[in-house]
Structure 1
């Protein structure tokens, strides 16, 4: 991934999924702006929903060791660029077999490896070659010749939607937006007239929405749907504002007389909390037209808080279980980034050998602790004064994620009366290390149908840099069903 320093409000992101676009022309047949024309085979039985369904990452696993670590962390999706297309001049041979920040990695072998190992692949379609940029030399601006863009998109989707790759998900651009609610006059990856690298001198891009919809999104979405694949929106930036995002989605092009929303299968945002997905679900997914909600970038410097990822994905799972999670690909969040040298990434690449950082180890613990078939626990668990708790079923276990201060704490759990006549098996598991506390740090009793649990939080909590310091752990009632 490119290491381009940018400022984006709440976060400072070191990233740029670079890809330059162009390709060989084919006539574009027009199709109805509806959901992708794929007939999903009806399952023989209801499919199990798993924590791993929700977890993806930016980048690719490129070795057997990488794949082993992805499986241990529960990562089931990767995201990367495709190109370089026609970077130097119009008419050159289309090249779409490379990936990475400098297009120095072989893409077909990555995608085949993913397919064989049950990992989904999302290809990011972007950006504009410098020779075709409406802002001279700026690959983040609209193309002068839209045909060059559609040729690139067609070449990518035609090749990779077919065997042996069989990809069905393609993302259009990255973080295209106009003036952001967070204050930036132009979005980081979508530039127009009066753009300036110095934000103090940049002016708003007045046609940002219209140019993106007419020159990038709908032309690319038509191609993706023509190959019976799904359109993933390009990731709305966290500083864009959800009201502004709704305006973009529902914008109807005067020239095309169509809404962008009708050419989006998966709503996609970046770096938002799970709670922000609720309005998007209610507006666009619960009754359509979109199929689901993705976040193709989360994490980054938020992962300096080692509680961030385990809390995010547990919260995401609880939320999804209550939101018609009837397709394993309906909800997905992709971590930025699984690989690097910063101590908050999922792994440190070495040398000598790749190792887990705290954030990566927390995913290993989450997968081990809540690795079964997920189901909602609808009873309200009552935490003590300094305890926050969320709960779900993983297989036959009731798994509660608790955030609490040190010392003895309490929970009251309704709905488990069937355990009253049995010996209750219970574990208190550190959410970062996976270590289980000694049995004498747990005690249970019953009071008017409630299972009362006392548990001791260590004096040295695992979120010492939090304010106030808290400990994150899983309280697991074994064989609760």
Structure 2
């Protein structure tokens, strides 16, 4: 079992604690749970002819599944992508054989077997290309600095993409570096993974890296992107850090190299950020995806200590799906977010590796519930949904169900839904499902009635809400409207 690197968020910056991606752990897991959506609502005609999208299209994680049991856990949680390192390249000296068959923080796990396991199980794989061998580092001994000899970097990239874009791996997505940036809006003079002159481990002594953007574009990004595209594969940006500031990100993307006379943006297929809320994706979509040149928006790291809030992941992915459905989600790989990390000993990780066997933590269980509840083909629901006092709601169509994610106070609450007039002649079933535990409320806790053209739903929120750590405490649940045959309970 590899080392699981914790990314502790502190006032002085969580990234000082992280130096690479986490490895994986193996173990047994509970069997995959499934549900069959009830016969219910029909999507808008415009969406009926669109290629179907799934909630699972949006969900990835950092690390790899190490066994069949791990794959089963991933599928139960709806995880359809993994992300990991590839190397070690030529770590010790120039001219040594190129090694690109290992992964994890210490390069102590076999990469080909992990990729083939993903391929067999329909899971996508993203390889992170990095970093500089210490013997070739422009900051002596610092693997997070630019290479002295760029050809060494190019040989590593070419070896990786040439091997893994070909059968039997057939990878098409490669990420260049990780969180390269200059002076961060969060206060750090240099980014954690991109160092230049005047860098010091002591932040008080470190000074800004004046050529950070130019060196990254000219010595790392564009040389690697040219190789990736030469193999007809896609370039994923290296994950812009949340402390970097979006204004700075725009500047980096649009930077035109005076030496190469090209913009970095024109060598990016997927815009990528880390740890941002869904709302921050809108400006990136409008500026770089809606009319190109980028193909989509990914976040290759989300979660971490944010997952101490049991509502974080279900709210994030539900909001992400609603947002994506309104943003030309015409390719299943257009939008994606990867959780950091699916496995570990901290109680907020998705699973605990054991011993004696792997178990789901609260965050992992919430993903199982999300997959079970929102398991159908997705479509937008554009009709009005109005929550009563103390109720916030977001809605979409999943298969033939209308699913509303509601955040509310304890006690009896109300929500009114428009646009369902076609259901008035049929019996309507409404379920109230705890978004964290998956428990369905007892009979008598949900009631529905018609008020002209509005379907009113009255539901009882338990006194002990599942977001007790929130301020103020709220309960997160799903209201699912299903259409059932007359006389069927």
Task: Report the TM-score range of the alignment, normalised by the length of the smaller protein.
Answer: over 0.9
Report deviation, 1:448.
2.3
Residues 196-275 of structure 1: pairs in structure 2 closer than 5 A:
196-275=200-279
- Greater shift after overlay, 193-202 or 82-91? 193-202
**What is the aligned counterpart of 2:339 among 335, 339, 354?**
335
TM-score between both structures, scaled by the size of structure 2: 0.91
CA distance in 2, matches of 1:144, 1:318: 46
Displacement of 1:227 in angstroms is 0.3
1:15 paired with 2:18, answer yes
1:195 aligns with 2:199: yes
Return the match for 1:128 from 125, 132, 140: 132
1:366 matches 2:375:
no
Q: State how far apart, in whole Å, the 2-side matches of 1:100 and 1:281 are.
A: 32
Aligned to 1:380: 384
Please give the per-residue CA displacement for 1:426-457, whole angstroms capped at 9, x wherever unaligned.
10000011000012011111112111111000
Alignment of 1:20-419 (within 5 A): 46-419=50-423
The 8 Å contact of residues 426 and 484 in structure 2, kept in 1 or not, is answered as: no
Distance in 2 (CA, whole Å) between partners of 1:308 and 1:206 is 37
Q: Distance in 1 between matches of 2:279 and 2:352?
A: 30
Answer yes or no: is the 8 Å Cα contact 1:50–1:371 preserved in 2: yes
The Cα offsets for residues 56-104 of structure 1, whole Å up to 9 and x where unpaired, read as 0000001011000000000000000000000000000000000011111
Question: Secondary structure at 2:5's aligned position in 1?
Answer: strand
Question: Does the residue aligned with 1:65 lie in a helix, a strand or coil?
Answer: helix
Task: Specify which of 415, 424, 428 is matched with residue 424 of structure 1.
Answer: 428
CA distance in 1, matches of 2:453, 2:7: 56
Distance 1:5 1:51, change over 3 A: closer
1:379 Cα offset (Å)? 1.1
**Shift of residue 11 of structure 1?**
6.3
Contact 2:21 2:63 in 1 (8 A): no
CA offsets 1:313-346 (integer angstroms, 9 cap, x no match): 0000000000000000000000000010000000
Aligned residue for 1:474, secondary structure, equals strand
Distance in 2 separating the partners of 1:212 and 1:341: 35
Q: Which residue of 2 aligns with 1:3?
A: 5
User: For residues 4 and 80 of structure 2, what CA distance do their matches in structure 1 show?
Assistant: 23
Counterparts of 2:147 and 2:9, CA distance in 1: 25
- d(CA) in 2 for partners of 1:169, 1:233: 10
Aligned alpha-carbon RMSD (Å): 1.6
Paired position in structure 2 for 1:40: none
Indicate how the Cα distance of structure 1 residues 431 and 231 shifts in structure 2: closer, same or farther if over 3 A, else same: same
1:477 to 466, 478, 481: 481
Counterpart contact for 2:4–2:344, Cα < 8 Å:
no
**Partner SS, residue 16 of structure 1:** coil
Provide closer, same or farther for how the CA distance between residues 235 and 480 of structure 1 changes in structure 2, counting only shifts above 3 A: farther
- Residue segments in structure 2 that go unaligned for 5+ positions in a row: 23-48
CA–CA distance in structure 2, aligned partners of residues 457 and 193 of structure 1:
57
The runs of 4+ residues in structure 1 deviating greater than 2 Å are 1-19
**Inter-CA distance 97–49: structure 2 relative to 1 (3 Å threshold):** same
Q: 1:207 to 1:385 in 2, by over 3 A?
A: same
Q: Distance in 1 between matches of 2:403 and 2:201?
A: 48
Q: Which consecutive unaligned segments of at least 5 residues does structure 1 have?
A: 20-44
User: 2:325 and 2:126 mapped to 1: Cα distance?
Assistant: 24
CA distance in structure 2 between the partners assigned to 1:7 and 1:194 by the alignment: 25
Match of 2:221, SS state, is: helix
Aligned-partner SS, 1:223: helix
In structure 2, what is the Cα distance between the partners aligned to 1:76 and 1:6? 26
Paired with 1:218 and 1:468, the residues of 2 have a C-alpha distance of: 47
- Aligned to 2:244, the other structure's residue is in SS state coil
- Could you say if the C-alpha distance between residues 7 and 91 of structure 1 is closer, same or farther in structure 2, counting changes exceeding 3 Å? farther
Other-structure match for 1:41: none
Instruction: Please give the alpha-carbon distance, in whole angstroms, between the structure 2 residues aligned to 1:137 and 1:458.
Output: 57
Deviation at 1:46, TM superposition (A): 4.2
Give the equivalent residue in structure 1 for 2:28.
none
Deviations 1:350-391 (A, max 9, x none): 111010000000000000000000000001200011001000
Query: Residue 233 of structure 1 contacts residue 267 of structure 1 at CA under 8 Å; is this kept in 2?
Result: yes
Q: Normalising to structure 1: TM-score of the pair?
A: 0.93
Contact preservation (8 Å) 1:9, 1:239: no
Q: Give yes or no for the alignment of 1:435 onto 2:450.
A: no
